[in-house]
Structure 1
């Protein structure tokens, strides 16, 4: 077993390879360079899977899963606890990859590793969690419901926070007796895939239970269509999630979809502007705004609007943007040029339509300045859609009813933040706005391994990650079982 001081990731072992049935092998999809967005440097060459690899992985995962589920629960729990310890022991190395491959600043990369470890520790309690209940019956029999593993789970994770958004499905699925096929985003395969496989290898997870299948949409499609994969846990855009959900429905399997957001942040007239701006800055610009929960729309009472815009813009202008691997910065790069160009086109469109450019709106290479748009047109793309970049829109409102209407005027429904001196009034306001997550006197970006996480409307299919109940619901099936002392006599 790897000692804490040893390196977790040896490129000689994984370069150009995927992970199937406990072995690092060449994939049918060829190879891809992992590029550091801050510099354009090639960090590693990773393997890509082909659809045939998915079939092979699903077959071996199905075999391995049956033995894994049959193990005494302390043995499964021990693997998850050891995985949590290994994340902590190898934190520095994993943070380094996260900073360079994803573009995260070190504090956020460290937070991601911390949460990833916590997800494993929380999952370690699932094998011994009560997995059923005794039911009332009118017949002379024992009747009960039992939760059983679904079998093989397909996990499709995104580039932006690849550790957290992968482990929150991988860890509970494994803990509950399932096998997992993991498809990380091709841009962050080392952080979001190889690292995870290596941790569980060292933790003693038996071969075949966590298989790595990096690739594009064809791999996701093959996972959804394979009959051995019974549940799909997908995190990504609403557009891609619709496709996954439609395909899963055709194949009569569950898809847990955690999708996009355009979260509102409401500042009521009794709020203190300085703390509100502090909250907003974190919720806006953490990880370059590349978080599904990021604040997209600031809905600020008209009496505070001018002061709020001025102070938020000043905060944005003061922030340092640069390479997080070489200096202390507030924001790193966005993931690639396609993302940057889309962000910039939407900013330019909003300004042309009359929005005030209070801060930012410029970039160098993949480093986009934190941007504040004042009072954009309500039909502007950047106001209505998920930006997934360091850009926010601020609009005024007059009454709580108007604030609720503005906040709810979106197809999304992920997270909501409200700042107010009257927390109960904030909660009453939140009841009028459909979202899966609400934070009163906090910003929209929060995550805990013990809390259910998910959105409504086009933000997803509800809370399917976090906390024992949500995890058990997501990754098990319910079986009804009865026992009688003697067979009944039926009137036939």
Structure 2
């Protein structure tokens, strides 16, 4: 890596360091970053311990007051410049995302595109109206305005490391918050260094953004640090539960976007070739390592077998391997432990009567696109988020049964309904207890303008994106004004 020419992401600038107002060595030392496809070390970065988080939080709080007083138009200008830098350097950054997160090229390109959109949306929020007049009961004037929390702690995962970091960071900064960001230690470049660099070049004041990778110790330190007012967490339900428990004890606002076991309901009148294409995309994109992945394909009984056969045919023609070859549809699973978890769920389904039509095997971390049919309640594949490229097809008889299957899930993030009758599909969509429903589409959908999130194990009632960003990353402040002070009876 030291042989790289001087470029936007030249490792000489950040190798072995973290962005703590500037590129610094951390007290906790460094970690190596490995390509999950080959195991090769591609870089090293500074890692955070509790002391590093404490320093970052204190510096962020010291910088936040000045940033909150910065004119909204200036905050918007800096955000727009950061978006420009991300967009302009996409060709250089995409290979880093591929190597670090095991992404194929199109998925990595989507991260650059969507990341740019999220920053531009945040820039528009910076100059949005932030107050309302309140009716008065006496001669005073009353108004309320949205104000920043102070310092927002952002904790992001490995799977879409750039997008799932930037959507919180950019929105928080837009409203005048400072940010302490902890990307996943497996993807600290895509989820951290890239973001630090674009805001560094855009002229964000020093200290307003602190970026340092870390594990559980760093995450818990963020949840307890008195200088951090809010935690925005994206990750597993187990991790989110822990964050909510610790941060709640310290009276912090918590925004959680967690996992999903997302149902795609395919009705008997659907075009099966198109439905199979939707199922494949929703299930196999990025090896199924997406919170919105199609985790359960609910196929009406009359078409279940035909749909399964079409999907299995597609799965057999989706090669898994090293994304750097540009010849594969699926890259590596992020870790050996996750491969073992996927295999255990597939084996459990087969042992309990499901039929394996494709895949079900792996070569190291390269897990084959897999199709299980005849999946029923009681199988782990029916109930659990797999986070792997496994299509689970479960037949249903009636619309009511499909609705019940979806609503009985522990999760509630996303769902899809495919039907030739849009009115019928919309009727079903209205009955689904999830945060997002996509009619005549699969479940993997996202963007900066819609409120994203769901109930139960998918979140805590919060949302991120669109108008929800104002709700999440600011709080109300009421101000009343009298022309002059007056005496009271006491």
Q: For structure 2, which runs of at least 5 residues remain unmatched after alignment? A: none
Q: How does 1:353-372 map to 2 (within 5 A)?
A: 353-372=352-371
1:183 corresponding residue in structure 2: 182
Cα distance between partner residues in 2 of 1:489 and 1:432: 57
Q: How does 1:395-410 map to 2 (within 5 A)?
A: 395-410=394-409
Is structure 2 residue 469 aligned with structure 1 residue 485?
A: no
1:436 corresponding residue in structure 2: 435
Post-superposition CA distance 1:164-209 (Å, at most 9, x none)? 1000000010011010000000000011011110110001111101
Cα distance between partner residues in 2 of 1:370 and 1:326: 18
SS at match of 2:461: coil
2:14 corresponding residue in structure 1: 14
Alpha-carbon contact 1:27-1:53 (below 8 Å) kept: yes
Cα distance between partner residues in 2 of 1:7 and 1:447: 31
Cα distance change of structure 1 residues 259 and 358 upon mapping to structure 2, 3 Å threshold: same
Alpha-carbon contact 2:162-2:191 (below 8 Å) kept: yes
2:298 corresponding residue in structure 1: 299
Is structure 2 residue 257 aligned with structure 1 residue 253?
A: no
SS at match of 2:108: helix
Cα distance between partner residues in 1 of 2:402 and 2:177: 44
Alpha-carbon contact 2:376-2:394 (below 8 Å) kept: no
Cα distance between partner residues in 2 of 1:435 and 1:242: 19
Cα distance between partner residues in 2 of 1:395 and 1:6: 53
Q: What's the offset of the Cα at 1:59?
A: 0.8
SS at match of 1:303: helix
Cα distance between partner residues in 1 of 2:65 and 2:421: 53
SS at match of 1:343: helix
Is structure 2 residue 473 aligned with structure 1 residue 475?
A: yes
Q: What's the offset of the Cα at 1:463?
A: 4.4
Alpha-carbon contact 1:453-1:462 (below 8 Å) kept: no
1:146 corresponding residue in structure 2: 145
Cα distance between partner residues in 2 of 1:153 and 1:317: 45
1:325 corresponding residue in structure 2: 324
SS at match of 1:265: strand
Cα distance between partner residues in 1 of 2:6 and 2:201: 12
Residues matched between the structures, number: 486
Cα distance between partner residues in 2 of 1:450 and 1:6: 36
Q: What's the offset of the Cα at 1:6?
A: 6.2
Alpha-carbon contact 1:213-1:219 (below 8 Å) kept: no
Q: What's the offset of the Cα at 1:13?
A: 1.9
Q: What's the offset of the Cα at 1:405?
A: 0.9
SS at match of 1:392: strand
Post-superposition CA distance 1:79-126 (Å, at most 9, x none)? 000011011111011111011110111111101110000111111112
TM-score, L = length of structure 1: 0.97
Cα distance between partner residues in 2 of 1:128 and 1:11: 35
1:448 corresponding residue in structure 2: 447
Cα distance between partner residues in 2 of 1:90 and 1:13: 16
SS at match of 1:16: coil
Cα distance between partner residues in 1 of 2:463 and 2:253: 11
- Answer with 369-378 or 356-365: which moved more: 369-378
Q: How does 1:92-491 map to 2 (within 5 A)?
A: 92-467=91-466, 469-491=467-489
Cα distance between partner residues in 2 of 1:105 and 1:218: 31
Cα distance between partner residues in 1 of 2:368 and 2:353: 20
Alpha-carbon contact 2:336-2:365 (below 8 Å) kept: yes
Cα distance between partner residues in 1 of 2:344 and 2:127: 52
Q: What's the offset of the Cα at 1:250?
A: 0.8
Alpha-carbon contact 1:29-1:215 (below 8 Å) kept: no
Post-superposition CA distance 1:401-420 (Å, at most 9, x none)? 11111111211000000001
Cα distance between partner residues in 2 of 1:67 and 1:61: 11
CA RMSD between the two structures: 1.1
Q: What's the offset of the Cα at 1:459?
A: 0.3
Q: What's the offset of the Cα at 1:28?
A: 2.1
Cα distance between partner residues in 2 of 1:190 and 1:26: 16
Cα distance between partner residues in 1 of 2:317 and 2:364: 19
Q: What's the offset of the Cα at 1:323?
A: 1.1
SS at match of 1:124: helix
